[in-house]
């Protein structure tokens, strides 16, 4: 027996659990094997949380400057923040970009709370003034002394020009930004309602598929799929599935009774809903092949009249299918009167698809001649690896008997033999803007062009040579808020919080700060507000920690009340641990 003095002694590895699972299965202990399979998934969840990040930051973005070295008007505007990075966003295809999402992989040195600290500011090159931009952080990972994340914000860049953006960080008194946007989300898990000023999208509570889409113009068109489906709840997005060999049965992700795996990102800029797993039989679990792994992500954005779907269908072992479908949309109610399609050059056409283009489509959709309501798919990427028979089909059908209006892209057909290592990838935009008679075609084509040519990120900027001569003597406003500018009191609160422990750890200092349970501290006069989380949903009774927090902070001078609020979003992960927290948990190897 080994005394449990290190992290590896206090848990069991995936490899060990696989051996235990194999042994239990050999001995016919199926219940034990099921428990071990769940435990393996738990360990893999942890390993995924600490995985090495993909190093794809823009060249030069690793450079950092000190705010104190900026011109006086800028440094005063950003007072309270210590460091900055700077990028230029460049437009090259002659289209004005307004509120275009920029999803930027970026990394920072240890010692910063990225969710609280990061701010993005746009430089107005005409006036030299800085203006804060709405931003959002997700997918944060700590590895080897650095904190990596994705920073997403909405950028404005005029045609054939560039715009400079600053990323400020390094402010221990910063509070979680409270940005306002039209992007709103309600619901739990994958059963969400996501809406902006253009539409409201309802996702299935069962498996997360897009179930209903409501337009926010005119009479408020609702797109839905009625009926009983095939026994599963009907959705307007029917992909992804495949028909097994000899036409025996279809395996669908819409057959999931619940999502086998999912993750959700929420914020004022974007909502991402990702789901992945193996499609299931109509008589699951009688047939449970693990042959094709499917990964699907919806991306919704503030202010934009489209949303994105990305997916991968990866073949795990050799097998034969009859066909597979990777994009299929079904609408009951006959809301549309006409069809459109996009050819490989990006030109949009109205009417039926000619036979010469049936397998070379790069977008399809519908519109109504009277209301001008439209729903148009722009197929931005559709490719395969280790597979030469990919079809770009899916002509729209105005009247499909028994179903309504639909398109269905059979990306592989005629009973192909699929081999391990084959994968199909796609990226589509779905546009809900009205299709006006005079401007509709150009509007769709311009959106397609902009999505295929995103703004280029250039992090090699010489501020001093290019911009310092244009700086105004005074700046307008400040980046810091009044409640963030409470240095002494804030520090006393953080110091006091370090004396509050998670009492479920008996031999180490597992205080709530170093464990990363505290998401925010704000002070309004003599009232302190704390936003906290718990490490997992098996411990929802947060009062176990919140009550000691309140008791401790009420002992601070000048404090009348302490309010402790709770959130599960974003969920806690080991990334939240400070250096002291990692040491206490035995994770210093990260």
Among candidates 327, 356, 367, 363, which has minimal Cα distance to 342? Answer: 363
3-state SS assignment for residue 380: strand
Tell me: pLDDT of 60 over 90.
no
Q: How far apart are CA 322 and CA 147, in angstroms?
A: 46
Rounded to 5°, angle at Cα 20 from 19 and 24 = 120
> Are the CB atoms for 367 and 435 separated by under 8 Å?
yes
Helix (H, G, I), strand (E, B) or coil at 463: helix
Sheet holding 97-109, edge to edge: 97-109, 146-157, 135-143
User: Going by C-beta distance under 8 Å and a sequence separation of 6 or more, which residues neighbour residue 401?
Assistant: none
d(CA 130, CA 84): 13
Using the predicted structure, report yes or no on whether residue 469 has a pLDDT greater than 70: no
Residue 486: what pLDDT? 63
Select from 231, 232, 230, 251 the least CA-distant residue to 242.
251
Average pLDDT over residues 393-412: 94
pLDDT in tens, 174-208: 999 999 999 999 999 999 999 999 999 999 999 99
Using H for helix, E for strand and C for coil, what is the string for 303-329? CCCEEEEEEEEEECCCEEEEEEEEEEE
- Which H or E run includes 18? helix 14-26
The tens digit of pLDDT for each residue in 242-290 reads 999 999 999 999 999 999 999 999 999 999 999 999 999 999 999 999 9
- Give 260's DSSP letter: S
Q: What pLDDT is recorded for position 55?
A: 65
Q: Which of 238-252, 380-394, 475-489 comes out lowest in average pLDDT?
A: 475-489
Q: Which of 173, 177, 179, 178 is nearest to 79 (CA)?
A: 173
507 contact partners, CB below 8 Å, separation of at least 6: none
Distance CA 475, CA 78 (A): 10
Instruction: For residue range 83-92, list pLDDT tens digits in order.
Output: 999 999 999 9
pLDDT bracket for residue 48 (50, 70, 90): very high
- The CA-CA-CA angle for residues 575, 581, 583, to 5°, reads 110
Domains and CATH numbers, the chain: 7-49 (no CATH), 199-432 (2.70.98), 487-585 (3.30.300.130)
**Residues 168 and 106 sit within 8 Å (Cβ to Cβ):** no
Residue 36 has pLDDT above 80, yes or no: yes
Distances (CA, A) of 178 to 42, 268, 269, 275: 33, 9, 12, 28
Confidence (pTM): 0.96
Give the list of residues 6+ apart from residue 122 with CB closer than 8 angstroms, or none.
Answer: 130, 131, 132, 133, 155, 156, 163, 164, 165, 166
pLDDT at 472 over 80: no
């Amino acid at each position: 027996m080994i005394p449990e003095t290190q992290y590896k002694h206090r848990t069991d590895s995936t490899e060990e659990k696989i051996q235990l699972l194999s042994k239990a299965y050999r001995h016919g202990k199926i219940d034990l094997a099921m428990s071990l399979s769940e435990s393996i998934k738990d360990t893999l969840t942890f390993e995924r949380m600490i995985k090495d990040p993909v190093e794809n930051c823009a060249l030069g973005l690793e450079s950092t400057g000190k705010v104190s070295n900026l011109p006086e008007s800028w440094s005063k505007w950003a007072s309270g923040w210590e460091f900055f990075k700077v990028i230029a966003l460049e437009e090259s295809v002659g289209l004005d970009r307004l509120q275009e999402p920029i999803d930027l992989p970026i990394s920072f040195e240890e010692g910063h709370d990225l969710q609280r600290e990061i701010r993005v500011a746009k430089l107005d090159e005409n006036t030299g003034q800085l203006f804060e931009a709405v931003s959002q952080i997700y997918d944060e990972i700590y590895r080897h002394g650095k904190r990596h994340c994705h920073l997403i914000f909405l950028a404005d860049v005029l045609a054939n020009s560039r715009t400079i953006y600053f990323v400020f960080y390094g402010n221990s008194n910063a509070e979680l930004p409270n940005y306002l946007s039209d992007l709103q989300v309600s619901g739990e898990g994958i059963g969400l309602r996501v809406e902006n000023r253009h539409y409201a999208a309802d996702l299935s509570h069962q498996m997360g598929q897009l179930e209903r889409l409501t337009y926010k113009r005119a009479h408020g068109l609702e797109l839905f799929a009625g009926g009983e489906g095939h026994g599963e709840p009907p959705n307007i997005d029917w992909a992804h599935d495949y028909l097994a060999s000899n036409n025996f049965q279809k395996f669908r992700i819409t057959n999931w009774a619940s999502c086998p795996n999912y993750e959700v990102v929420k914020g004022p800029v974007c909502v991402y809903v990702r789901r992945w797993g193996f499609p299931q039989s109509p008589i699951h679990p009688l047939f449970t092949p693990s042959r094709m792994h499917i990964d699907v992500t919806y991306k919704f954005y503030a202010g934009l009249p489209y949303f994105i779907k990305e997916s991968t269908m990866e073949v795990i072992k050799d097998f034969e299918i009859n066909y597979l479908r990777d994009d299929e949309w079904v609408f009951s109610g006959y809301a549309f009167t006409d069809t459109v399609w996009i050819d490989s050059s990006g030109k949009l056409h109205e009417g039926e698809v000619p036979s010469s283009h049936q397998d070379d489509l790069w977008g399809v959709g519908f519109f109504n001649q009277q209301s001008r309501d439209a729903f148009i798919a722009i197929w931005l990427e559709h490719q395969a690896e280790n597979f030469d028979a990919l079809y770009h089909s899916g002509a729209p059908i105005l009247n499909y008997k028994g179903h309504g209006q639909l398109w269905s892209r059979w990306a592989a057909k005629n009973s192909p033999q699929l081999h391990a290592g084959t994968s199909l990838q796609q990226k589509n935009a779905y546009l809900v803007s009205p299709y006006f008679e005079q401007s509709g075609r150009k509007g769709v084509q311009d959106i397609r062009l902009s999505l295929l040519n995103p703004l280029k990120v250039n992090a090699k900027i010489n501020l001093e040579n290019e911009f310092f001569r244009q700086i105004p003597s005074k700046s307008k406003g400040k980046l810091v808020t009044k409640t963030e500018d409470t240095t002494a009191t804030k520090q006393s609160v953080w110091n006091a919080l370090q004396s509050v422990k998670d009492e479920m750890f008996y031999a180490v200092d597992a205080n709530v700060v170093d464990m990363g349970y505290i998401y925010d501290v704000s002070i309004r006069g003599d009232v302190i507000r704390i936003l906290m989380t718990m490490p997992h949903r098996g411990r929802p009774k947060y009062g176990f920690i919140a009550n000691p927090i309140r008791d401790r902070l009420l002992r601070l001078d000048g404090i009348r009340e302490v309010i402790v609020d709770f959130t599960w979003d974003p969920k806690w992960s080991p990334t939240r641990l400070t250096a002291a927290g990692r040491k206490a948990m035995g994770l210093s190897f990260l």
